[in-house]
A = this chain, B = another copy of it.
Amino acid sequence: MIPDINRIKRPELNNKIMSASQAALLIRDGMVVASSGFTRSGDSKEVLPALAERGETEQYQITLITGASLGHSTDGALAASGALAMRLPFQSDPVMRKIINDGGLMYIDQNLSETAEHIRNGFLPPIDVAIIEAALVEDDGSIIPTTSVGNSAIFVAQAQQVIIEINEIIPTSIRGIHDIFLPEDATGRAIVPVTEPWQKIGQDSIPCDPAKIAAIVFTNRKDTPAEIATSNPAAQAIARHLLTFFEREIQAGRLTRSLRPIQAGIGKIADAVLNRLADGDFEHLTMYSEVLQDSAFNLLDAGKLDFASASSLTVSEACYQRIFEDLENYRHKILLRPQDITNAAEVIQRLGVIAINTALECDLYGNVNSSHIQGSHIVNGIGGSADFAQNSYLSIFVTESIAKQGSISRIVPMVTHVDHSEHDVDIIVTEQGLADLRGLAPRQKAVAIINHCVHPEYRETLSDYFIRACRRGGQTPHLLEEAFQWYLNLAENGSMKAEVEERM
């Protein structure tokens, strides 16, 4: 391809244009590499894949830090090539996941708000090379990002060298939808002055010392499209329960028809909830979220959503097309910001965000596991769920009550891994119903969860566990010798249901 040098507004940088494989040679064994990319958007599509290729034949290992997950199976290819010694703060690649669980790659699963702070504080090794996808490079060397911001601003600020990947698919008119705000270093860190979701507090581009720009690579590959979340009756039922709850809160005067700024995690349930808001009697909704999926654009198009703030656009191919064809319409309705701003405790608290996240499973007392299977094996990671759960006005977790035709209950006596303690969980919703845990003590929470959330096939066993545990006493009654029995049943017999009584 012939590079569109109009996208480099500082002509002296033209001599930095090179191929991806040339640029990849800047990365050497033992280096710390930081790359743009958040939930598979705005990621490196040339240099990291070239690096993975190099890993096939060459012996070297790097630490890779990103915003969140990469697209295009890049994480899988890098992990499989053996090029990675350490990976943070998030991933969602099946190949990489297996290597992590096998102990072949050290994975630091971080709260997504924290990576930038840990870098600023010097808690992580210094960044050698940053690779940043860009729509264009300004005349001062600053970088206009593409479909995500993630940690790119802090990466550029801290890296010794910067490799820019200019993506020609992205219209240069994207300039203006980013809001780049860099808080000071942790000593006397600045107030993050967002008081409304639509408030822009920073600048359009990521500041970059031109002398640090070591390579510019061109690409015309799109982001990996998000899978279209296929809704199911359970997701619809969960959405219905949640909307009934919102209606009740409006009746009680605690919410208005504009609700509060919404954060929604990725997946079919959150998607079903947002899509359902389009049909309901709501108005002037806003989002203060990590990721915008198709449903956000459906809500914008339906005139229900006034504004959406996030760190990335993770949408289907059709929605991607729609956004860039009608960018003039959307550009005043969305903002993409650094993930330490979208996920900032102070902003989430100040705006009073309603956080809707998916639980892998939750227990009798409202503790939530978002990340681990059988207490040991990680799926993706905690992501931003704790940033929002800990600081939101309402922390809502959604999950189907059962999985694998009922051989797994998503409501268990005790979760084997706690990502969110009962203190950070207000509402649990399954297709069975909604448990409102606000203002309840643990034993009362258990009754609400048993009555409203657990699947009927597991209700009696769970209730029996609870009653026997209460007899033994405690603020949060448990029977430690059988708290994990359902998991042991599952491992041995393929179902949590295996005859518990006989085995005791």
Per-position binary interface string of chain A over residues 466-478, scored 1 when its CB falls under 8 Å from any chain B CB and 0 otherwise: 0001101111111
Q: Are B108 and A441 in contact (CB under 8 A)?
A: yes
Of A13-21, A310-318, A411-419, which stretch is located at the interface?
Answer: A411-419
Instruction: Say yes or no: A195-B188 contact (C-beta < 8 A), given A393-B121, A475-B372.
Output: yes
A439 in complex: contacting residue of B108, B391, B414, B418, CB < 8 Å: B108
Does A172 sit within 8 A of B, measured CB to CB? no
Does A375 sit within 8 A of B, measured CB to CB? yes
Bound Cα distance A423, B473 (Å): 30
Q: Are A376 and B472 in contact (CB under 8 A)?
A: yes
At the interface, is chain A mostly helix, strand, loop or mixed? loop
Instruction: Say yes or no: A189-B439 contact (C-beta < 8 A), given A346-B346, A481-B488.
Output: no
Q: Are A121 and B254 in contact (CB under 8 A)?
A: yes
Interface residues of A (CB under 8 A from B): 86, 100-103, 106-111, 114, 118, 121-125, 186-191, 193, 195, 252-254, 260, 345-346, 349-352, 367, 372, 374-378, 382, 386, 390-391, 393, 414, 416-419, 421, 423, 426, 438-444, 469-470, 472-478, 480-481, 483-484, 487-488, 491
Q: Are A439 and B484 in contact (CB under 8 A)?
A: no
Residues of B within 8 A of A123 (CB): 426, 438-439
8 contacts between A and B (CB under 8 A): A106-B441, A346-B349, A375-B474, A375-B476, A376-B472, A376-B477, A418-B418, A481-B484
Bound Cα distance A339, B111 (Å): 25
Q: Are A108 and B440 in contact (CB under 8 A)?
A: yes
Residues of B within 8 A of A391 (CB): 345
Instruction: Say yes or no: A101-B475 contact (C-beta < 8 A), given A108-B440, A375-B483, A390-B390.
Output: yes
Q: Are A416 and B478 in contact (CB under 8 A)?
A: yes
Residues of B within 8 A of A191 (CB): 191, 193, 195, 346, 350
Bound Cα distance A426, B193 (Å): 28
Residues of B within 8 A of A414 (CB): 375
Shortest beta-carbon distance from A433 to chain B in Å: 19
Q: Are B393 and A254 in contact (CB under 8 A)?
A: no
Bound Cα distance A176, B16 (Å): 62
Bound Cα distance A414, B478 (Å): 15
Residues of B within 8 A of A254 (CB): 121-122
Give A111's nearest chain B residue, CB to CB.
Answer: B423
Residues of B within 8 A of A345 (CB): 345-346, 349, 390-391
Bound Cα distance A346, B125 (Å): 26
Residues of B within 8 A of A195 (CB): 188, 191
Give A441's nearest chain B residue, CB to CB.
Answer: B106
Bound Cα distance A443, B106 (Å): 8
Residues of B within 8 A of A393 (CB): 121, 186
